[in-house]
Amino acid sequence: EEEGRRRRIQDMTKTSTMLRTIGLTLALLCTLAGTSEAAEEEQRRKTEGVELTVEKWLRGHLSKLEGWGISKLLKTEQSVDREQKRRANTSTNPLELSLLADDEDRGVRFYVAANRNTPLGSRIHLAGDPDATVRVGVAMALAWDPLATQSTRKIVTDLATKLAGDPNVLVRLALVENKQLPPAVFDTLAGDPEEMIRWKLASNLDTPSRVLTRLTSDARRPVRLAALHHRNLPVSVLTTMAADGDVD
The 10s digit of each residue's pLDDT in 122-134 is: 999 999 999 999 9
For residue 82, being part of any structural domain is answered with yes
For residue 120, being part of any structural domain is answered with no
- Mean pLDDT confidence for 27-37: 49
The Cα 20–Cα 54 span in angstroms is: 21
For residue 155, being part of any structural domain is answered with no
Q: DSSP labels for the chain?
A: -HHHHHHHHHHHHHHHHHHHHHHHHHHHHHHHHT---HHHHHHHHHHHT--HHHHHHHHHHHHHHHHH-HHHHHHHHHHHHHHHHHHHHH---HHHHHHHTT-S-HHHHHHHHH-TTS-HHHHHHHHT-SSHHHHHHHHHH----TTS-HHHHHHHHHHHHHHHT-SSHHHHHHHHT-SS--HHHHHHHHT-S-HHHHHHHHH-TT--HHHHHHHTT-SSHHHHHHHHT-TTS-HHHHHHHHHHT---
The 10s digit of each residue's pLDDT in 203-231 is: 999 999 999 999 999 999 999 999 999 99
For residue 123, being part of any structural domain is answered with no
For residue 133, being part of any structural domain is answered with no
**pLDDT greater than 90 at residue 174:** yes
The domain in which residue 26 lies consists of: 1-104
Percent of the chain with pLDDT over 70: 65
**pLDDT greater than 70 at residue 13:** no
- Share the mean pLDDT of the chain: 80
For residue 36, being part of any structural domain is answered with yes
pLDDT level of residue 50 (50, 70, 90 thresholds):
very low
- Mean pLDDT confidence for 139-157: 95
Residue 215 backbone phi and psi in degrees, to 5: -70, -20
**pLDDT greater than 80 at residue 110:** yes
**Counted domains in the chain:** 1
| Stated pTM of the model | 0.68
For residue 238, being part of any structural domain is answered with no
Whole-number pLDDT of residue 123: 96
For residue 48, being part of any structural domain is answered with yes
